[in-house]
Structure 1
Amino acid sequence: MNKIIKKTGLAASALSLLLLSGCTKNFEDINTNPDALPYSPPNNTLVNVLRNTGEQFGGDVDGYGTFAGYIVKIQYMDFMSGLVPTNNTYGNRWYACYYNNTQLKDMLDYTEKTAAGYKNVRFIARIWQNYMWSYLTDGWRNVPFTETFQGTEEQGGVLRAKYDKQEDIYPAILKSLKEIADEMAKGYGTDELDGADAIYYNPSKKDLDLEMLKWRKFCNSLRLRIAMRISGVAPDLAKSTIEEIAGKPDTYPVIGDNSESCQLSYPGAPPYYEPWYNSGMIGNRRNNWALSDIFIDHLIDTKDPRIAAVALKANDGEYRGYPNGAKQGPSSLTSVSWIGDRYITNAAGATPFFKACETYYILAEAAMLGYNVGVSAQMAYEKAVNLSMADNGISTEATNAYLAGAGKWNNTKERIWWDMWVALFKENFEAWSLYRRTGVPTTNYPSLNSIFGKKHNDQPWRLPYPNNEYLYNKANTDVAAAKVVDNVWGEQMWWDKRTGKF
């Protein structure tokens, strides 16, 4: 990236000098700022990428929130309540993934010869690269992967990267994460992270080993998530991955407590507000959104105490959801439930990437599949519920009442999935993936006001390829999009085996 900028600047400077004063042989010397760093310091690069991820992916109130069945628009209604399905929608998310991975790769290349001095920052960078890849493929299915970042002559000169199949990307991500996990099991580095680690660094209690242990846990927890995602299409790989992690807790520790959840917290001062707060409160825009009817109805039907955390009561003192994609908003905006204060009024709140409860929902499902994970499905499920309730500020008494009532373990995967759906609120992208894989919530439905009418009976299956991909990588993009219909349907994710959807 820096070389490209440098060469572009050199060409511009050369032309100017040629026009003004003939020619010179000192173009590069003249065009070089002696005070500028040739590369960004590795720690600066890391914190920039982590912050960028939170800001780019943490602000989706509707969109993924609508796809997952949580949130609907009640003002400024549009056809899709969050997605106008053109090939220009969600392009910023695509570019953010590649921007972040480009920055991390440049940093890893720069530190390769002095890796010992940057061991910890390199561990985190590599883990985050894989998180970005998982996000990309879960959003767009087939994406440029193996030929990415090969644009320079030294790297191979590939300017138009081919798209790799999702079924090839997943094993590669799992392989890379295992390599990182094995390396971390042998020991961490000594390089201090300080403010570069925007996720786990605690300035009031500096403990580098604990900080790196949490990253190690995130690495293995991410392996659990990815393995479970493909359990229906690559059962052998899923089983061996999950059993290896569960069977060697000392070698492969996982996130097991809310204090270990992977999330980006914000200072809460201008301009660094938590994104939902920023979009929900500034300019009094909070009343743009309400909770979906299917979400509120489920919480009411199951007497789920988390309703008090995720939703506000309507003006008559009742919880009430609103239909997805209605042609008009409610006659009174306060006649429906808005997003709860716990999630939208905290300027110093957090963007979650992996909640602790997710670990145990995965282990519960793994146990149901017959995997040897060292814990029963019921024990893992109840642990997950307790973690989610605590994360939402719910009392032990209310949690126990729920587990004795509608939330009681009934020895089905559906019980796991329904509760996991509730627990993933605000981690909307992951909840959308849960829906696409499992079909839960089964009550989910597309926009009532879709421009396609009844042509599609489901929420979007994918995100549209950005317009620039069709402009600058058209041949490869056309191949990748051959089975795509109306930009977001046509071909389901590799791991999405639901039937009857169109």
Structure 2
Amino acid sequence: MKLYNRRFSKFILAGALILITGGSCTKSFDRINENPNTPEKVPGNNTLAYSIAYYGEFLYDLWGDMNEPECFGGHLGKIQYIDESRNVYRGVVMENLWTYHYRVLNNLQITISDAVSNNKVNMQAAALTFKAYVAQIATDSWGNIPYSDALKGNSGVITPKYDDQKAIYASLLADLKTANDLFAKNSPDALGDGDFLFSGDLTKWRKFCNSVRLRVAIRLSKVDPVTAKSNIEEIAGDQEKYPIMTDNGDNAFLTWPGGKPYNEPWASNKSDDGRDDHAVSDTLVNILSRLKDPRLSVYAKPASDGQFRGVGIGIPDNDRLPSLALYSRIGARFRDNKQGFTPYMRVAEVKFILAEAAANGWNAGVSAQQAYEAGIDASLAENQITNAAYKTNSGVKWDGDVKKIYLQKWIALFKDGHEAWAETRRTDVPVLPAAKGSPYPGHTRVSFHLPYPNSETTLNKTNSGPTVGQVKDNFWGKQMYWDTRTGIN
């Protein structure tokens, strides 16, 4: 939906108040410390709005998405200030990303508690859905993280235990099923004008909820196929009870109003910050060129010589071209529109999930070929491309090879670095070797996870110690629970 600056800023400010008012009163001086202009309780409408917008602003921007997830996921490379794509990270950035995730999760938990107290069933369901969405990205970024104890600061838990990723995934699946059941009650409460995703459309929220559950389930397909199969078949087998995204009108896109400070984050990095640090990766350009993919001219701009040419991810300085103008920059749809979008989830992704499930022999309610081709059609349509012949191209035409599903899904995920990086770690499609310019030689794949922030090793050392002890070279060591690849490091 379109956001309007006044309404947007109102909800951002009101949600932020929660972060600065906690602990401001003492038992003895509560009345003295009361500030009538700073509320201690904020309606769930505000905290939900704050969570949705804040997550897009700080986890899909330069630092939260472009520099590392999009580079690690193979879509982008850096042409200036290349450190991040070479595994040279900034400690303060990791501290911030960790904080941002838990800040949003805390606000969502406040929203849920408020909704339960005030019998706002739909608000509870929406907040539970978005909480699961955020938590999955958090655990897929680091692996084992504090979760079950992480949001109990008001109860005195300041050093939360670390949860195993397997347990976190089980919790996510359960929460998303609960959220769907809450939506099914058809409660009369409205989400209000703080619903920046779907403008209060509860049907779309419910579709988003079940589609996220499909995402969580398919991530487990190689490590726990029984759980993955049962969740996907339950949803696909009864789409009246478990509706899912069916067309691009269901996409969970956060659309920005434009105008400082509410320009779309990728466009803001270019227009407001004056940066030109990223190009499309050589991996993406080469694959799209080989497949004669019409999305190439949408995802990328021609270089100064008229050719599409990507940059190697984390390449050494002496391997770079003599002129930065010879690299293809990010396409206008994704980079130049201040009123652009942040893609939380697309229908194309859902189609490819169903295609993979069907290819596995599971009951997805559709054949693998039908869902695969529907995923391609949805991605092309999203990018305003009509090209029925593309599906007959060599390397694209369906022949039963599940790797084609993986590849087309990865292509469709452009601008969603979190999911692209996770999927390449799960499927190894496309194969993404470690950056040649990395200070950590000998690794055969891109990063397994983000580095843990120093605050966890100092302030929560007892709980973080066993997990951090499995880290190697900050980005490697223990793989994700769902990453079953062997012979890599």
Partner of 1:282: 272
Query: What is the CA–CA distance in structure 1 between the aligned matches of 2:142 and 2:395, rounded to whole Å?
Result: 36
**Deviations 1:301-325, CA, capped at 9 Å, x for gaps:** 1101100100011111111112222
Query: What is the CA–CA distance in structure 2 between the aligned matches of 1:82 and 1:310, rounded to whole Å?
Result: 23
State the Cα distance separating 1:263 from its structure 2 match.
1.4
CA gap of 1:86–1:346, structure 2 versus 1, over 3 A, is closer
CA gap of 1:236–1:273, structure 2 versus 1, over 3 A, is same
1:193 and 2:197 are equivalent in the alignment: no
Partner of 1:100: 104
Unaligned 5+ residue runs, structure 1? Answer: 12-24, 202-207
Query: What is the CA–CA distance in structure 1 between the aligned matches of 2:163 and 2:91, rounded to whole Å?
Result: 19
Look up the SS of the partner of 1:363 in the other structure: helix
Partner of 1:264: 254
Matched-pair contact (CA < 8 Å) for 1:305–1:399: no
Partner of 1:163: 162
**Deviations 1:19-60, CA, capped at 9 Å, x for gaps:** xxxxxx7x3322212454330122111111111010111112
1:66 and 2:53 are equivalent in the alignment: no
State the Cα distance separating 1:159 from its structure 2 match.
2.3
Partner of 2:7: none
Query: What is the CA–CA distance in structure 2 between the aligned matches of 1:361 and 1:349, rounded to whole Å?
Result: 24
Partner of 1:241: 231
Partner of 1:418: 407
State the Cα distance separating 1:227 from its structure 2 match.
0.5
The RMSD of aligned alpha carbons is: 1.9
1:254 and 2:252 are equivalent in the alignment: no
TM-score of the superposed pair, with normalisation by structure 1: 0.89
Give the letter aligned to residue 263 of structure 1: F
Query: What is the CA–CA distance in structure 2 between the aligned matches of 1:104 and 1:236, rounded to whole Å?
Result: 30
Of 110, 125, 130, the residue aligned with 1:128 is 130
Alignment of 1:397-436 (within 5 A): 398-436=387-425
Query: What is the CA–CA distance in structure 1 between the aligned matches of 2:180 and 2:316, rounded to whole Å?
Result: 50
1:472 and 2:459 are equivalent in the alignment: yes
State the Cα distance separating 1:489 from its structure 2 match.
0.4
State the Cα distance separating 1:93 from its structure 2 match.
2.0
State the Cα distance separating 1:268 from its structure 2 match.
1.2
Alignment of 1:63-462 (within 5 A): 63-78=68-83, 80-81=84-85, 83-85=87-89, 88-115=92-119, 118-152=120-154, 155=155, 157-187=156-186, 189-201=187-199, 208=200, 211-285=201-275, 287-328=276-317, 329-395=320-386, 398-442=387-431, 444-452=432-440, 454-462=441-449
**Deviations 1:402-452, CA, capped at 9 Å, x for gaps:** 43443111111111011111110101110001100000102x222111111
State the Cα distance separating 1:283 from its structure 2 match.
4.2
Look up the SS of the partner of 2:389 in the other structure: helix
Look up the SS of the partner of 2:400 in the other structure: coil
State the Cα distance separating 1:223 from its structure 2 match.
0.7
Look up the SS of the partner of 1:28 in the other structure: coil
State the Cα distance separating 1:70 from its structure 2 match.
1.3
State the Cα distance separating 1:2 from its structure 2 match.
6.2
State the Cα distance separating 1:103 from its structure 2 match.
1.3
Partner of 1:16: none
Matched-pair contact (CA < 8 Å) for 1:62–1:82: no
State the Cα distance separating 1:361 from its structure 2 match.
0.3
Unaligned 5+ residue runs, structure 2? Answer: 1-16
**Identity of matched residues, %:** 38
CA gap of 1:456–1:6, structure 2 versus 1, over 3 A, is closer
Query: What is the CA–CA distance in structure 2 between the aligned matches of 1:102 and 1:77, rounded to whole Å?
Result: 33
Query: What is the CA–CA distance in structure 2 between the aligned matches of 1:231 and 1:385, rounded to whole Å?
Result: 22
Query: What is the CA–CA distance in structure 2 between the aligned matches of 1:71 and 1:316, rounded to whole Å?
Result: 20
Partner of 1:57: 59
Query: What is the CA–CA distance in structure 2 between the aligned matches of 1:352 and 1:77, rounded to whole Å?
Result: 25
CA gap of 1:99–1:6, structure 2 versus 1, over 3 A, is closer
Query: What is the CA–CA distance in structure 1 between the aligned matches of 2:280 and 2:39, rounded to whole Å?
Result: 48
Matched-pair contact (CA < 8 Å) for 1:364–1:380: yes
Give the letter aligned to residue 323 of structure 1: G
Look up the SS of the partner of 1:370 in the other structure: coil
CA gap of 1:484–1:258, structure 2 versus 1, over 3 A, is same
Partner of 2:8: none
Query: What is the CA–CA distance in structure 1 between the aligned matches of 2:378 and 2:436, rounded to whole Å?
Result: 35
Larger C-alpha radius of gyration, 1 or 2?
Answer: 1
Query: What is the CA–CA distance in structure 2 between the aligned matches of 1:485 and 1:87, rounded to whole Å?
Result: 16
Residues paired across the two proteins, number = 468
Of 453, 469, 476, the residue aligned with 1:482 is 469
Partner of 1:204: none
Partner of 1:17: none
State the Cα distance separating 1:490 from its structure 2 match.
0.5
Moved more, 105-114 or 334-343: 105-114
Look up the SS of the partner of 1:347 in the other structure: coil
Give the letter aligned to residue 376 of structure 2: V
Matched-pair contact (CA < 8 Å) for 2:86–2:438: no
Moved more, 359-368 or 455-464: 455-464
Give the letter aligned to residue 74 of structure 1: I
Partner of 1:20: none
Look up the SS of the partner of 2:82 in the other structure: coil
